[in-house]
Amino acid sequence: MRIRAAAVCLLLLLGACHHSSNAQRAIAHPDPNVITAEEIRKSNESTAYAVIQALRPNMLTARGRSGAVVVFLDNQPFGDLGSLQGLSSLGIEEIRYLSPSEARGEYGPAYSGGVIAITSKR
């Protein structure tokens, strides 16, 4: 009887460890180049700049050889990083950082510092 009780305890312990391991794997780490609508909402920040500064401050740093990060809003040029301070976070669906190489491929060679592409809610 003792052996059976010990075996049951061992199985329960192993099952709990397995469940804990699966739960840890299920936790998603946020994409360092994307800020989602849910993250924006949870941040309680009022401007796009404040959201980025709070959640992904690396997006605010140019990573190319030369040039500054440029902001696009709904695939249209919007301004420099300062323009983010006047953009309300309430209307934003997604903020995505494009590396200099991605930005050049998407928007052309003038964007050697990278792009912050903002998609508004529609």
User: Would you place residue 122 in the very low, low, confident or very high pLDDT band (cuts 50, 70, 90)?
Assistant: confident
Mean of pLDDT values over 16-32: 57
CA atoms within 13 A on the CB side of 97: 26
| 43 CB neighbour count, 10 Å cutoff | 16
pLDDT tens-digit map of 79-117: 999 999 999 999 999 999 999 999 999 999 888 889 999
Does 6 or 2 have the greater pLDDT score? 2
pLDDT tens-digit map of 41-52: 999 999 999 999
Q: What is the rounded CA–CA span in Å between residue 77 and residue 89?
A: 18
User: Would you place residue 77 in the very low, low, confident or very high pLDDT band (cuts 50, 70, 90)?
Assistant: very high
- From residue 108, alpha-carbon distances to 80, 95, 115 in Å are 16, 19, 11
Percent of the chain with pLDDT over 90: 63
Element (H, E) at 38: helix 37-43
